[in-house]
Amino acid sequence: MVIDSLTDVHQRLTEGILSAFMGMILILMPIVPDGQMIGLFSQEIDNINQAIAMVAQMLDPYKAMGAWLEQRAMYAGIVRRGADYSYLDDVIVTGKQGVIVRKDSLFTDDNKTKWVTLKDVTLGVNGSARVNLRSQELGAFALSAHQSLTMDTVTLGVETITTTKAAKEGVFEETDGNLLLRFMRSHSINNHDDYQGLEGALLNLPDVKQAKVYENYTHQTDAKGIPPSLFKCGCDGGER
């Protein structure tokens, strides 16, 4: 959809007024009220044009963004993949026997990622306990084992907090670009007799990063070793 620029709108209004009042002396410069009124009308017309163009663009699934894209993708049965938390299991907390680390206590790692406890934990007779943490925000946050954490929630008697396992990374919310890519792939999924349809179906599986389908439509084994009249599929990623 092509709309007129603000300059074109202003010029058209100016020319229309001049032709309507032909023979009269009109001063339409921006410093006079008539010129300022034309400028205001031009701006409002441009605002309306921009709004109409935006709505038209958002109705086009290949140009839509955000919630508009989600609505277009849902027509094909495709929903944006949501985000998930990251987790740290069996984190060792040491300190004074009997100290209680409360649920939702806050910790920070060297990457400035915030982690929270999922339940109350009491330090045992040896002055330690294991606790599971969850990232404060949704997303994929990496942290290796044997890393120290800083406790942000003031708790007297806590001395050290150390990870024993690498973090189980979550996922960030699917971007508009990836959602649009899955939507585009879905166009060919229904045609399972075609290698593009198979490739689209494979790429649409959860966590599949790459997929390639090779077709041998001849009656002899081809150079890639594919038997006659068969497909060969390869995937990187996906659930096992």
Q: In CATH, what number is assigned to the domain containing residue 159?
A: 2.40.30
In a domain, 80, yes or no: no
State the CB neighbour count (10 A cutoff) for residue 155: 14
In a domain, 198, yes or no: yes
How many angstroms separate the CA atoms of 152 and 105, rounded? 8
- The H or E element spanning position 230 is strand 230-237
Q: Which residue has the tokens 């009997």?
A: 98
The answer on 98 and 155 residing in a single domain is yes
Average pLDDT over residues 30-53: 80
Contact 45, 73 (CB under 8 A): no
Under the banding of pLDDT at 50, 70 and 90, the label for residue 46 is: confident
Residue 212's SS3 state is: strand
The answer on 147 and 93 residing in a single domain is yes
Q: Which domain holds residue 17?
A: 6-59
In a domain, 115, yes or no: yes
In a domain, 146, yes or no: yes
* 196, pLDDT greater than 90: no
Backbone angles phi and psi of 72, in degrees to 5: -65, -40
In a domain, 44, yes or no: yes
The answer on 158 and 114 residing in a single domain is yes
Contact 140, 171 (CB under 8 A): yes
* 87, pLDDT greater than 90: yes
In a domain, 55, yes or no: yes
The answer on 93 and 150 residing in a single domain is yes
Contact 122, 150 (CB under 8 A): no
How many angstroms separate the CA atoms of 133 and 48, rounded? 51
In a domain, 67, yes or no: no
The answer on 204 and 149 residing in a single domain is no
The answer on 196 and 153 residing in a single domain is no
pTM for the model stands at: 0.55
Could you tell me what percent of the chain has a pLDDT over 90?
36
Number of domains in the chain: 3
The answer on 149 and 108 residing in a single domain is yes
Worst-scoring range by mean pLDDT, 30-34, 76-80, 131-135, 139-143? Answer: 30-34
* 130, pLDDT greater than 80: yes
The answer on 90 and 49 residing in a single domain is no
In a domain, 23, yes or no: yes
The answer on 205 and 159 residing in a single domain is no
Q: Looking at residue 189, what is its pLDDT?
A: 53
The answer on 98 and 144 residing in a single domain is yes
| Total number of residues shown for the chain | 240
The answer on 99 and 152 residing in a single domain is yes
Under the banding of pLDDT at 50, 70 and 90, the label for residue 142 is: very high
**Residue at a domain's end among 116, 145, 163:** 163
